[in-house]
Amino acid sequence: MDDWASEGDDLKEDGSFFLGGGAVVAGVDYEAAWLEARAAASELNLLLGRLELRGVDLVRAQAGWSDDGQGVVFMEGTLSGARKLWAVVDRMLVRGEIEPRQSS
């Protein structure tokens, strides 16, 4: 199975399990938001895998949640992976494939 497939995508490269983000507050539904974030992270990981961002060039997305129960996606990676991702996005900007956002 591809390293970036959705099954087991909560396992970090070192084999540890990642399941969260912020603190858990009683009465807040984290599950739905986390499941939505997990689906988004899984899709992003498939794309990152297609960009060959693994091994020494690892960049990975993982699902989590904020203190107020919103789903979030964390990205982490190696220095060379971050630079490779930057180069891909920069080329897209130069070719006009994506529009830069003006800072406020």
Please compute the mean of the pLDDT values over residues 88-103 and round it to a whole number: 89
Domain assignment of residue 29, yes or no: yes
Domain assignment of residue 8, yes or no: yes
The backbone torsions φ and ψ at residue 69, rounded to the nearest 5 degrees and listed phi first, read 90, 5
Domain assignment of residue 81, yes or no: yes
12: pLDDT strictly greater than 70: no
Domains of the chain: total = 1
Q: Which residue has the higher pLDDT, 104 or 30?
A: 30
> Which amino acid, 90?
D
pLDDT in tens, 19-78: 556 667 777 778 888 899 999 999 999 999 999 999 999 999 999 888 788 899 999 999
Domain assignment of residue 63, yes or no: yes
pTM: 0.70
Task: Give the range of the structural domain holding residue 64, as residue numbers without chain letter.
Answer: 1-96
Q: Is 69 left (phi over 0), alpha (psi -120 to 50) or beta?
A: left
Domain assignment of residue 102, yes or no: no
